[in-house]
Amino acid sequence: MAREELLDLGLKQAHLPALLMALVHVTGDASILDEFPRPVYDFFAEGRLGGYSEAQQAAIRARAKEAIETYLMNGQKLPPPPSAATVRKMMNFIAGADIPEHYVPFMEEELGLTGEDVKHPHWESEKLSAARKTLRVVVIGAGMSGILSAIRLKQAGIAFDVIEKNPDVGGTWFENTYPGCRVDNPNHMYSFSFEPNHDWPYHYSTQDVLLGYFQRTADKYGLRKNIRFETQVLETRFDEKTSKWHVKTKDKNGKEETLIADAVISAVGQLNQPKMPDIKGVGSFKGPAFHSAQWQHDVNLKGKRVNVIGTGASAFQFVPEIAPDVKEMKVFQRTPPWLGPTPDYHDKVGEGKKWLLEHVPMYDKWYRFWLFWMLTDGIYEFVKTDPTWNGPPNAVSPNNALLREMLTAAIKPQTDDAPWLFDKIIPDYPFGGKRSLRDNGKWVEALKRPNVELVTEPIAEINASGVKTKDGKQYDSDVLIYGTGFHASNFLRTFKVYGRGGVELHDKWNGDARAYLGMTVPGFPNFFMIYGPNTNIVVNGSIIFFSECSVRYIMGCLRLLAETGNATLEPKENVHDSFNVKVDEANKMMAWGAPQVTSWYKNAKGRVSQNWPFPLVDYWSATLRPNPSDFELKKSA
């Protein structure tokens, strides 16, 4: 396709507010911000047109075409960049509202107009250069967070080994290969801030595309030579005499080896150990039975009777994919998920939009900025509990009740031709109490198929021929698929961690995992976790954002050791404890912490051990750099 055709197509597909921002860079003329009103966004709509009238849309596209063609014909030379004050005005413009002052540095960093990787560790000083020659770190896991850790360690010049149980990188995107598997964050949010990709095929990437992205990133940074594939960590033990960690591993041939490290970074995640339901008879089904995270692709489902247990994120994706092929399907639901309208969830990215992202200066950065702002804390206030709320328990505040009404109204038209289904798919718990899912109609379409039945009667048992519900009905099948989630609250489930005095971390936690900023625990010096306790997100942002913040903080901790000449650091007990008190109190005031809500966000003791209850800017601020007074710093024994 010729360049002019791609430009015309791109202008039709463009996010118009981001296009306006790009025009300021291309023309050097900020007066365009006064010619058009700030965009108006509907949270449940795509937002691409910014609420502009057809006449305004045409005017924006005409101005853009003229400016971009001039830029291309003039050798792609840009005028001087806009001033800081103009950039600030542009941020407010594209956000559609004045960005609060305490968000500004945070959002400026995410905007990244300079193109600089601001989280690069930069260990160039004489003291740091000397210190890194003696440091060694073991990273456990080569998923998204492990790859990120390895990149930063390599940039700092620190020796490291990555231990990965799988034969390749990718973590959850290597392991989960069930039909329909894809991310629920827009691509530009679910990718490293310093490694953008302008060629995403879908708005929400499929598993294979994301796996390819992480594989290419690992290759680009030359990480594979540092990764020990098909190797498991059995335990990691702190030696108080040497202030070193001893990491015991076992490879695919059963050979055990112990690595010595100054620090250990656990990047094993929260959602990687499949969980079977607590139902009588699990394991007794005589036919093929498997968890969605361990999909058996050699089992042919065509023409088969299939029972699916669970209606969470995985089932929500694979049920519509396999429904057309099976003879009949029973989907057993304990509680329905909230469905968030996302019309483009399965849509491809237009070729014109890809061209804009690649060729129009700063369009990609402003488009990502808009996505980030809208997803950062967009509905955070709507999932906070109002202590004075005296309405029904299916909401926690007037805002939450309003959001419930809006979502219900969006879902209802999908069931107008199947009214019997409506009450079954509307949750009776507050929005935000459990994980909501991206809805473009495919889920309800699948449930309405003549060969699919949604069963809401509780399951009594699983037996040799199928599933029996508590009303006595037996549902025989040829295949049984579990979409029943993961052992989310059992952090670091696959290995032991022995700290000072030989105390094992899981024994210390006693079923209630806690950490300071989700990363460090008293008594476990130089042991760090990424995606640790209380760093999960429910309605705001991407987990990659959290990982980037965490890895910057961890690199800051290593820098603190190098600059002070200390061997170990660990959080002070009072710092750790007071932080967790604040987290617990805040989580109680969120929809997911409401007493009437049960979900995987809460552990067996009823505490929310998963979620970050504050705005994202708070985590960003807290992890910019470690505060030395938060830690016990010690010289080598």
Q: What DSSP string runs through 421-489?
A: HHHHHS-SS-TTSS--EEESSHHHHHHHSTTEEEE-SPEEEEETTEEEETTS-EEE-SEEEE---B-TT
Instruction: Specify if 397 maps to a domain.
Output: no
Say if 582 falls within a structural domain: yes
If pLDDT is split at 50, 70 and 90, which confidence band does 42 have? confident
Task: Give pLDDT, residue 311.
Answer: 96
CATH number of the domain that residue 203 is part of: 3.50.50.60
Residue 270 has pLDDT above 90, yes or no: no
pLDDT band at 335 (very low <50, low <70, confident <90, very high): very high
Q: Which of 448, 482, 516 marks a domain boundary? A: 482
Contact 198, 358 (CB under 8 A): yes
Residues 135 and 94 in one domain: no
Residue 183: inside a domain, yes or no? yes
More confident residue, 363 or 47: 363
The answer on 630 and 574 residing in a single domain is yes
Of 153, 175, 174, 156, the closest CA to residue 226 belongs to: 153
pLDDT surpassing 90 at residue 445: yes
Asked if residue 389 is part of any domain, the answer here is no
Q: Is residue 421 part of a domain?
A: no
What is the number of structural domains in the chain?
A: 3
Say yes or no: 499 and 522 in one domain: yes
For 318, counting Cβ atoms within 10 Å of its Cβ (0-12 exposed, 13-18 middle, 19+ buried), the class is buried
The answer to whether 306 and 178 have CB atoms below 8 angstroms apart is: no
| 178 and 255 fall within a common domain | yes
Q: How confident is the model at residue 21 (pLDDT cuts 50, 70, 90)?
A: very high
Asked if residue 441 and residue 309 are part of one domain, the reply reads: yes
Residue 190 lies in a domain: yes
- Cα(339)–Cα(391) distance, rounded to whole angstroms? 22
**Cβ pair 248, 260 in contact under 8 A:** no
* 495 lies in the same domain as 534: yes
Is 136 inside a domain boundary? yes
Cβ neighbors of 440 (< 8 A, separation 6 or more) are 341, 342, 343, 344, 345, 346
Give me 124's structure tokens: 């160039």
Would the pLDDT of 74 be above 90? Answer: no
Say what the pTM is: 0.96
Q: Which of 116, 117, 123, 193 is nearest to 154 (CA)?
A: 123
**From CA 335, how far away is CA 341, in angstroms rounded?**
19
Question: Coil, strand, or helix at residue 401?
Answer: helix
Inter-axis angle of helices 144-156 and 543-564, to 10 degrees? 30
Q: Which residues does 574 contact at the CB level (< 8 Å), separation at least 6?
A: none
Residues 112 and 13 in one domain: yes
Statement: residue 410 has pLDDT above 90: yes
Residues 332 and 443 in one domain: yes
Same domain, 330 and 298: yes
Could you tell me the residue range of the domain that residue 451 belongs to? 289-338+434-482
Based on the fold, state whether residues 269 and 195 are members of the same structural domain: yes
Same structural domain, 313 and 446: yes
Ranges 144-148, 371-375, 391-395: which has the least confidence: 371-375
Specify whether 604 is located in the same domain as 506.
Answer: yes
Q: Among 371, 337, 355, which residue's Cα sits nearest to residue 95? A: 371
Domain for residue 399, yes or no? Answer: no
